[in-house]
Amino acid sequence: MPIKTIIEPFKIKSVEPIRWTTRAERERLLVQSHYNLFLLPAEDVLIDLLTDSGTGAMSTRQWAAMMIGDESYAGSPSFERFRQSVQGIFGYKHVIPTHQGRAAERILFSVMCKKGDVVPNNTHFDTTRANVEFVGAEAADLPIPEARQPATAHPFKGNMDVAALEQLIARVGRERIPLVMLTITNNSGGGQPVSMENARAVSAACRKHKIPLYFDACRFAENSYFIKTREKGYEHHTPKQIAREMFALGDGCTMSAKKDGLANIGGFLCTNDDALAQQEKNLLILTEGYPTYGGLAGRDLEAIAVGLEEALEEDYLKYRIVSTAYLGRHISAEGVPIVQPPGGHAIYIDARAFLPHVPPAAFPGVALAAELYLEGGIRSVEIGTLMFGAHAEMDLVRLAIPRRVYTQSHVDYVIEVILEVWKRRAEIRGLKLVYEAPFLRHFTARLAPL
Ligand SMILES: *Cc1c(COP(=O)(O)O)cnc(C)c1O
């Protein structure tokens, strides 16, 4: 019999202690942080599932590469290695390093969009939406209808509604759509993958109307693994071959290396368009840095160059996707409503279904996240009414899994905590907003119990 147990495909060389707090301490900490877990000191969190962004553990190969980082202002060999790694996977002509994904977004939309434009996406991530809106353009989300139904399973729930894209182009006109974006995997939609078939259809629609297609590529490796395991014809492809095939359908990308770059900081912007690349580099110099470092240290470029390759390793991807699904399966088996099927980097609890007595205006997602912290010191994040305001179609609590950080027993602990909260869900009350900032309010909002 072949061995069925899937293990963490690494051993641990350096450990970082985590700290318990008492329930009384957590009660006080919740009040002090105004029920917004972004405002908690990280040392008071036991298991931090706030985000998978920049929270991954680097490998011995990455740490070794950092030591050969060259810190020359211009023309660093570290940039050369970074560029070759990115081009080997993404295949685009110009590679522009940035300090993280949102800097790539800001530069891309500043150069390509103006007031009155419309940018379609399967679903905009929060920083992507904010950067589109900041230049006066409209961010249009066009997910397939199944994406709006948390309980409905679909192998490629991240897909874009191609008919809706065609209708939008017909309605507003091609001139007002400077680019189309496809987010792989669809983070705000539940970490759900986009199929190659869908990417091909979106690409064909874009080419027909001569609109450039850009990928928001943050979790391209996880998306590739889902295609390998779920889409017919890709069983024998490597994740890297799948990634290359997908990126060839587009004209460029934005990327946060804090996700599938397996790095703690960094990002990049790619394009095949020479004129745009020139404008983008001019803006980069103004606010990020010279085009061979873009706000990053040479050692960061080295860590990303290695991390992008490691993120595409099959045994790593298998462990990652399987352990995320394990968390989802064990809580949903007890009745906890989650976005089905489990996503790549996170499990999303449907807070409206978990707390049906708390209306969206009373922030059920924020209330549930606060309760998971109170019960077991777990930090998660609301993706719902606090994050998106009245745009929010769902109130979700995201449990994002940092890469290569937690083990099976940590996941078992998280399952137990969630199930305890599930048992006493009827007692959980909603919250009201007492302070909000004009942009991205969820990061700094203050709330109080109703
Ligand atoms: C994280 C993320 C971004 C922004 O990247 P940062 O590095 O956090 O600035 C953009 N899009 C998606 C889908 C993301 O997950």
Sketch the domain layout of the chain as residue ranges. 23-52+313-449, 60-310
On the question of a common fold for 23-52+313-449 and 60-310, the answer reads no
Rounded average pLDDT over 199-226 = 98
pLDDT tens digits, one per residue of 268-283: 999 999 999 999 999 9
Above 90 in pLDDT, residue 23?
yes
The reply to whether ligand 1 has any atom less than 6 angstroms from the CB of 256 is yes
Rounded average pLDDT over 188-217 = 95
23-52+313-449: CATH number = 3.90.1150.10
Fill in the amino acid letter for 109. Answer: F
pLDDT tens digits, one per residue of 391-441: 788 899 999 999 999 999 999 999 999 999 999 999 999 999 999 888 778
The reply to whether ligand 1 has any atom less than 6 angstroms from the CB of 216 is yes
Given strand 396-400, what is the order of strands in its sheet?
346-350, 396-400, 381-383
Atom 8 in ligand 1: which residue has the minimum CA distance?
101
Query: Which tokens belong to 288?
Result: 């990020």
Atom 6 in ligand 1: which residue has the minimum CA distance?
101
The percent of residues in the chain predicted with pLDDT above 90, rounded, is 92
The reply to whether ligand 1 has any atom less than 6 angstroms from the CB of 102 is yes
Find the 197 Cα to ligand 1 centroid distance in Å.
24
Which pLDDT band holds residue 28 (cuts at 50, 70, 90)?
A: very high
Gyration radius of the chain over CA positions: 21
Above 80 in pLDDT, residue 203?
yes
Environment class of residue 437 by beta-carbon count within 10 Å: exposed (0-12), middle (13-18) or buried (19+)? exposed
Which residue matches tokens 């045994």?
A: 315
Class of domain 60-310: alpha beta
Q: What is the pLDDT of residue 439?
A: 79
The reply to whether ligand 1 has any atom less than 6 angstroms from the CB of 99 is no
Above 80 in pLDDT, residue 71?
yes
pLDDT tens digits, one per residue of 142-201: 999 999 888 888 999 999 999 999 999 999 999 999 999 999 999 877 889 999 999 999
Atom 12 in ligand 1: which residue has the minimum CA distance?
125
Q: Is the pTM of this model over 0.75?
A: yes
Above 90 in pLDDT, residue 303?
yes
Rounded average pLDDT over 245-258 = 98
* For the CA of 103, the nearest atom of ligand 1: 9
The reply to whether ligand 1 has any atom less than 6 angstroms from the CB of 101 is yes
Atom 5 in ligand 1: which residue has the minimum CA distance?
101
User: Which residues lie below 8 Å from residue 189, measured CB to CB, with a gap of 6+?
Assistant: 122, 123, 143, 147, 157, 158, 183
Rounded average pLDDT over 309-329 = 96
Secondary structure class of 24 (helix, strand, coil): helix
Whether residue 185 contacts residue 317, with contact meaning beta carbons closer than 8 Å, is answered with no
Which pLDDT band holds residue 119 (cuts at 50, 70, 90)?
A: very high
Q: What is the pLDDT of residue 393?
A: 85
Above 80 in pLDDT, residue 308?
yes
